[in-house]
Amino acid sequence: MTDDKTSGELIAGHAELIGRVTLMWSDVHAQIGQLFEDFCASPEERKRYWETPSDHTQRQMLLCEGSFALQEYPDLWGRLEKTLAAIDHLAGDRNAAVHTYWAIDLPAGRILPHRRLPPHRRLRPDFEVQFNELLNKLSDHWISLFDLRIDYFDRKAGLPPSTKV
């Protein structure tokens, strides 16, 4: 059995991990929304985008808009497609963090999926490792989307493609 301080630290650490996953997912989707606005000139379509409650649908809307906006830049289009496909693949891990029913196991001083409710189908037994890996991947995708946005503006301004290392 662990002491109250250790239990509290474990619980706080777990809550922080889920919170960080949630915030990073939100940051990635804010970047996706900014790209949509960059690509779309229609105020009505922009409004419709932000009123769409599904992250997945928003990503699909960006793909559609990007297919037109990036016609002259096939390398940027390829990067967008690849990044959004990778984010689609990570949605299940994000959902496992956010939509699992969590419980506090006080005797053991840890957090675990609720024993009486089914866990999310994408939740792995090593969920802390799973969520830390998810954070790293989401961070990489945020950077990819940010870089793509800069490269898009540079190209539209007539600047040469960047040579990132």
Tell me the domain boundaries of the chain: 4-156
Distance, CA of 89 to chain centre: 10
Q: What is the pLDDT of residue 107?
A: 74
Gap between the Cα atoms of 117 and 144, Å rounded: 37
Q: What is the pLDDT of residue 6?
A: 66
Q: What is the pLDDT of residue 39?
A: 98
Q: What is the pLDDT of residue 52?
A: 97
pTM: 0.88
Q: What is the pLDDT of residue 12?
A: 85
Q: What is the pLDDT of residue 146?
A: 98
* Sequence-separated (6 or more) residues with CB below 8 Å from residue 92: 121, 122
CATH topology (fold) of 4-156: Four Helix Bundle (Hemerythrin (Met), subunit A) (1.20.120)
* Sequence-separated (6 or more) residues with CB below 8 Å from residue 6: 109
Q: What is the mean pLDDT of each run of 10 residues along the chain (165 residues)?
A: 64 90 98 98 97 97 98 97 98 96 80 90 95 98 98 90 59
Q: What is the pLDDT of residue 23?
A: 98
Angle at 30 between CA 28 and CA 34, to 5 degrees: 115
